[in-house]
Structure 1
Amino acid sequence: MTGIFSIVGSALDAQNLRMSAVASNLANADTATAPGAQPYRAEEPVFEAAPVVDAGSGAALGVSVLGVDQSAAAPHQTYDPSSPYANAQGYVTGSNVDRAQEMVNMIDSSNSYSASVAVLEQASRIDQQMIQSFQVS
């Protein structure tokens, strides 16, 4: 049963990273960039199924973080010639964060996190029932 705790732990770590990326993206959604500077690009964590080694049960598949990529989507351009961040044509370059997609990512990550916690709770209940079944009355 200890393998399940390692597997779920890796999933919880992955969702924690994903939620941090969502928070960073939403916090930078309205940032503007001076002409010639690089705008904020949305962070996108990349995961893969990978072995999780557990001393008691060997290896099983869990979640591994490959890294955090930056979104390749084009930055948002807004026409605002009065802005100090406007270029010669009057456009302000902002981040490429898609708020709706980030909200979907947040809900999905939250649901995945909750499901992983439910698996941990069930595994703990099974452990407790096994221990109780071996106790002599």
Structure 2
Amino acid sequence: MDLLKSLLVSASGLKAQNGRMRIIAENVANANSTGRTPQDDPYRRKIATFRSHFDKELGAEKVELGKVARDESDFDTRYEPGHPAADANGYVKLPNVNTLIETVDMREAQRSYEANLNVIESTRTMLQRTIDILKS
């Protein structure tokens, strides 16, 4: 694979992981969001998906952020009878966001982002050395 291809493939990975981190940040920001009334559902966790496709012009496989899926798992509940969103039994529906899972997902996305940055930096170094050799 030539060096330009590796740069473009890594750049697509950076963009995809950036989108993933934005979705995770949204989940964490809404981890305590409830509905306004007992009938309203609270925030529902979002899940980033990826899709790969062959770029004919580039001649390589690239990755991009796919559709954002909704986590259909059950909401948590907490007994809080004074809350405006409490049902007749005093329970409030809470988002299905687990901040521990979101933290682990964020760390994984960061590592993936860093790996793509390292590929770009290594490629840049190789290109610079090639230019230096050609100058000699």
Deviation, structure 1 residue 78: 0.8
Q: What is the TM-score when the length of structure 1 is the normalising length?
A: 0.91
**1:61 counterpart residue number:** 61
The Cα of 1:119 is off from its aligned counterpart by 0.6
| Corresponding residue SS for 1:115 | helix
TM-score with structure 2 setting the length: 0.92
1:17 to 16, 19, 38: 19
CA distance, structure 1, for counterparts of residue 30 and residue 72 of structure 2 = 16
Residue 67 of structure 1 deviates from its aligned partner by: 1.1
Q: State whether residues 18 and 109 of structure 1, in contact with CA within 8 Å, keep that contact through their aligned partners in structure 2.
A: yes
Question: Which residue in 1 is equivalent to 2:42?
Answer: 39
SS at the partner of 1:93? strand
2:53 corresponds to 1:50:
yes
Write the letter of the residue equivalent to 1:5: L
Report how many aligned residue pairs link the two structures. Answer: 133
**Unaligned regions of 5+ residues in structure 1, if any?**
none
8 Å Cα contact 1:51/1:60 also seen in 2: yes
Q: Percent identity between the aligned chains?
A: 30
CA RMSD of aligned residues (A): 1.2
Higher strand share: 1
Partner of 1:8: 10
Residue pairs, 1:80-91, within 5 angstroms: 80-91=80-91
Indicate conservation of the 8 Å contact 1:25/1:97, yes or no: yes
